[in-house]
Amino acid sequence: MCPRPLKYGDYTDCCNGIVYDRRKIFCCKGFRPLRYGDSTSCCGWLLYDYTSHICCSDRFVRRKYYGDRTGCCAGKLYDGDESVCCDGQRRSKDKYAGNTRCCGTSVYNSQTQLCCDGKIRTAAQNTACCGSSTYDYTSSVCCDGAVRDRVNGSASTCCGTAVYDYRTHACCSGQVVFKRFQYSMCCGTSVIDADTFSCCNERPYASEGRMCCEGVVIDRKYGWDSRCCKAVVYDDSAGLCCDGVLHHVTNGFNSPYSCCGRHVYSYASEFCCLECLGFSSHALEPTSVDVAGSDNLANGTRELTTEVP
């Protein structure tokens, strides 16, 4: 990802990092003429008109012989009103009509049957899949592929293959633990009082004036404007963290800046290009810093420009 100039206004786009006017050319694994106007689309390296043709397996372009009902299954065309494609096999809809669905390479009736892990099962009232079997979800729950009784009624919840009452207990790292506090929260395999504590790297800490950044407890040195950029705290009103790179820009609700991968850009005059071959720098980029460097963002003295390891 990389920032690029908004050279053609709303019609600006990029192709492998190169800016172009999409009213004139098209990106299809390289530049191609806009042969079919707004109906132009890609099929691998090929251009085609998607209103009259269809792309099969990203390799072949075929005319829509059946109009908008045309489908492609293993490179062959079919009528979507008469057939369905199931894992590369064309199957008829004659038996179940509009209720036809795929289960592997077979078809089933979605009104009376279920597909459970590739097995077709009869669907009774209040029936759902649990693995390759079915169960009554009003009286049971499915816990990691195992059917368990709702011993706690509607409050029954799974913790691994065990059932517990979520009103009185919590599931902490696979362990059922009693909720000791009014605001209980899991931290590792225990519960903590979330009113006064938080969890960092599965260890509790007093949350007043502190925060957790990548498993490290750090002071909120900028108050409620404190944010994490990897393991470093920065002032959110004076910086922007983009994939671990901290940029010294004015941030906030009316800020013109946003992230584009590890870079920052102004969306008033630029846009973010998703595919950028050989992109290494950006002339209009504000001061950026490796967050492992000096911590003076508040007074604007950051000078490093490398990425966090």
Asked if residue 118 is part of any domain, the answer here is: no
pLDDT tens-digit profile of 223-258?
Answer: 989 999 998 999 988 889 999 999 988 776 677 889
Chain length of the chain: 309
- Opening angle at CA 213, ends 210 and 214, nearest 5: 145
49/45: higher pLDDT: 49
Mean predicted confidence (pLDDT) in 42-54? 92
Q: How far apart are the first and last CA of the chain?
A: 19
CA-wise closest residue to 292 among 226, 246, 224, 240 = 246
Asked if residue 103 is part of any domain, the answer here is: no
Mean residue pLDDT of the chain comes to: 86
Q: Would you say residue 15 has pLDDT above 70?
A: yes
Asked if residue 63 is part of any domain, the answer here is: no
Asked if residue 231 is part of any domain, the answer here is: yes
Asked if residue 102 is part of any domain, the answer here is: no
Give 235's strand partners: 226
Asked if residue 38 is part of any domain, the answer here is: no
Query: Which residue range forms the structural domain that includes residue 271?
Result: 1-20+225-309
State the Cα–Cα distance between residues 61 and 99, nearest whole angstrom.
Answer: 29
Contact yes or no for 32/25 (Cβ under 8 A): yes
The structural domain count of the chain equals: 1
pLDDT at 156: 97
Asked if residue 78 is part of any domain, the answer here is: no
| pLDDT category of residue 58 using cuts at 50, 70 and 90 | confident
pLDDT at 308: 28
Asked if residue 230 is part of any domain, the answer here is: yes
Mean predicted confidence (pLDDT) in 282-291? 39
State the Cα–Cα distance between residues 115 and 100, nearest whole angstrom.
Answer: 12
| Max intra-chain CA distance, the chain | 73
Q: Would you say residue 302 has pLDDT above 50?
A: no
pLDDT tens-digit profile of 93-140?
Answer: 999 999 999 999 999 999 999 999 999 999 999 999 999 999 999 999
Q: Three-class SS of residue 211? A: strand
